[in-house]
Structure 1
Amino acid sequence: MFDWLIVGAGFAGSVLAERLASQRGDKVLLIDRRPHIGGNAYDRYDDAGLLIHQYGPHIFHTNSEQIFDYLSQFTGWRPYEHRVLAEVDDQLLPIPINLDTINRLYGLNLTSDELDRWFAERAEPVEDIRTSEDVVVSRVGRELYEKFFRGYTRKQWGVDPSELDKSVTARVPTRTNRDDRYFGDEFQFMPAGGYTRMFERMLDHPNIRIMLQTDFAEIRNEIRYRRLIFTGPIDEYFGFRFGKLPYRSLQFRHVTLDKEWHQPVAVVNYPQERDYTRVTEYKHLTGQKHPRTSLTYEHPSDEGDPYYPVPRPENAARFKQYDALARETPDVWFVGRLATYRYYNMDQVVGQALSAFRRIENEVSGRAAREPGPALVDTLQPAP
């Protein structure tokens, strides 16, 4: 008998497993259909001995000292500020767009104040900003939208930015100074020993049992547990009752080159030519010294593991139907990107999991106080 069955060993499931085991003394079974822990943040050493991220680059950044301090229990840190270049018109230019981007692209020598006016002259007024296209053209105009955003977004999401919610491009700032960091957060680091090592330490507790290559659908009625935390796709849990929620997937091509370096920064985006969206060179992230270098090419796809919920109004409406079902399902908590159909950064998933633990503490402890003795059935019934 386990107190908890947790489906998914990524950030959401692992944080909750650690909290429930270490803070409540609960017995936890953590399962994942993949052959490893860590979810999409899983990293490994390849055949050349280089540490790579199996599912594309994961860069930790946060403004939350609480989240940073929590993860610091399980890892040391390597300071790292992420910088990205975009290949546009045969030049490698800083992205997010900043003062150097514009001056180099157009052969200008603008100051920050002049660039503010330059943007304003090109911006197209949009009365009601609803789409990703609206966000960009209202800020910097249509020419920069076409060069930096439209092609990349269409490759990444499979639809035109005019059909996507404004949240997609609102994540990328536009700067009038020379700050070329991709993120502006207070805490910007990489786990010193890698993400997988951090997860191993997080889950190293006698009350946590891990089963990999295990599908929830195959064991949900075979294992005895009191409560469930589900971090997989919420539509899958409910048997796709209202239809499938669309996700965008990725295909990764990992290569190793017989040279020390390939590109000047960790990530180069390709918004114009090429069928891939970006190339990552991991030694920039890890600080590893090695005579060879390993890269990952990312090819967006409609097929494969779900990575990104597609932010369109009809998808949000369908999710609300599933969310209503989830709220009526006793003793099941839905946590994480896939279970809440939101595109979260890693720190946001950690924050959501910590908040879920506090809610669980209040609800479960309060229920036990109101109802002495066994308050819950041993196993959950299959989803209707």
Structure 2
Amino acid sequence: MFDFLIVGAGFSGSVFAERIASQLNQRVLIVDQRDHIGGNAFDYYNEAGILIHKYGPHWFHTNDKGVFSYLSAFTDWHYHYHRVKSYVDGTLVPIPINLDTLKLLYGLNLQSPAEVQAYYDQVKIPVKTPTNSEEVVTSQVGEDLYNKLFKGYTLKQWGIPPKELAASVAGRIPVRTNRDDRYFTDSYQGMPKHGYTAMFKKMLSHPNISIMLQTDYRTIINEISHKKLIYTGPIDSFFDYKYGKLPYRSLRFEHETLNQEQYQSHQQINYPNDYDFTRVVEWKHATQQKSQVTTITREYPMPAEGGMEKYYPIPKEDNHLLFRKYQEEADKLDHVVFCGRLADYKYYNMDQVVARSLKIFEDQIQVKPR
């Protein structure tokens, strides 16, 4: 007999399991189809001893002190600022665009944020209310920077032109007027000191938590007695695709260990216009491991078809309309809680999904004294 059956051992499912077990002293069974916990944040030490992320880089960053404090109960941190270069016209330039990006691409000797902003104002295409990702970028930095740094990368990443993508996609990437080359400016940035998997193991170590891996919840749900279900999987799958399948983008990762101490100058280099992959990550820059060899990962976006993992909900209006049909069905079920990137059909940063899970626990699950 379990109080809660939780589908998915990623961030959402693990936060719920830990809170229910430790705060309510109730029994939880967490089920996952994969052979490991941690969801897409799963990491491991490869044969060369390099700590890598199986499903692509997860750089933790947040301004939410509550989320950071919560996760810090399960891990120490290796603090670092995530810096990215983009390979454009044979040159590595900072991304997000900043003063140095303009100097390297155009030879502009701008001296102040005001001068940089004046340049943006000169080249940008006026759009009062951008309605898609192309308009978001061109209305800030103009058409040439859009073509050099955004158009090709977005087309590879999503498989559709930026003008067909919601404005929120490009809105996630800032534009700078100074020399700040940090990709994120959040107060808390880094990675769990011993990896995400070690953090998840500690989160799920409570004796009230049982874990069942390599298991489809549908095969055991009628055999496992439970009072409530928390579902973090694809919402369309839960309802047997009754309205059709929600589209996703997937990724293929090519991990390679090289017999050299360093491969590239930064932990991540983007390739918006060259090659089939979008970026190359060298893990040792982030983990600061010392080794005579190094491991890199190339990332190839592709459609989520034929059993490929579902990574990114595609932010288009017709997709959101389809999701809302499923959401209306979900709202009718009092005994099921839906949460997570797949269940909400929404791209979340790690801190956002932790914050959402904690909020739902407090508002809907935790028994509050009268």
Shorter-chain TM-score: which interval?
Answer: over 0.9
TM-score, normalised relative to structure 2: 0.97
Match of 1:338 in 2: 342
Q: Equivalents in 2 of 1:52, 1:292: separation in Å?
A: 13
Give 1:254 deviation, angstroms: 0.5
Give 1:187 deviation, angstroms: 0.6
The residue identity in structure 2 corresponding to 1:143 is: D
Match of 1:310 in 2: 314
Match of 1:53 in 2: 53
Match of 1:238 in 2: 239
Give the paired residue count.
Answer: 366
Match of 1:104 in 2: 104
TM-score, normalised relative to structure 1: 0.94
Match of 1:382 in 2: none
Match of 1:22 in 2: 22
Q: Equivalents in 1 of 2:65, 2:128: separation in Å?
A: 37
Q: Deviations over 1:154-205 (max 9, x none)?
A: 0000000000000101000000100000001011121111100000000001
Residue ranges of structure 1 left out of the alignment (5+ in a row): 370-384
Q: Deviations over 1:228-269 (max 9, x none)?
A: 000000010011111111010000010000000011111000
The residue identity in structure 2 corresponding to 1:256 is: T
Q: Deviations over 1:6-26 (max 9, x none)?
A: 000000000100000000011
What SS is found at the alignment partner of 1:86? strand
Matches within 5 A, 1:120-131: 120-131=121-132
Q: Equivalents in 2 of 1:78, 1:342: separation in Å?
A: 28
Q: Equivalents in 1 of 2:193, 2:224: separation in Å?
A: 37
Give 1:217 deviation, angstroms: 2.0
Give 1:49 deviation, angstroms: 1.0
What SS is found at the alignment partner of 2:145? helix
What SS is found at the alignment partner of 2:227? strand
Give 1:121 deviation, angstroms: 0.7
Give 1:138 deviation, angstroms: 0.4
Give 1:365 deviation, angstroms: 5.8
Q: Deviations over 1:343-369 (max 9, x none)?
A: 00000010011001112235x669xx9
Match of 1:73 in 2: 73
Q: What percentage of aligned pairs have identical amino acids?
A: 54
What RMSD in Å do the two structures reach over aligned CA positions?
1.1
Q: Equivalents in 2 of 1:101, 1:195: separation in Å?
A: 33
Q: Equivalents in 2 of 1:252, 1:221: separation in Å?
A: 36
1:4 matches 2:31? no
What SS is found at the alignment partner of 2:155? helix
Q: Equivalents in 2 of 1:152, 1:217: separation in Å?
A: 38
Give 1:330 deviation, angstroms: 1.7
Q: Equivalents in 2 of 1:192, 1:110: separation in Å?
A: 39
Give 1:29 deviation, angstroms: 0.2
Residue ranges of structure 2 left out of the alignment (5+ in a row): none
The residue identity in structure 2 corresponding to 1:346 is: M
What SS is found at the alignment partner of 2:109? coil
Of stretches 352-361 and 1-10 in structure 1, the one that deviates more from structure 2 is: 352-361
Matches within 5 A, 1:117-156: 117-156=118-157
Q: Equivalents in 2 of 1:244, 1:219: separation in Å?
A: 24
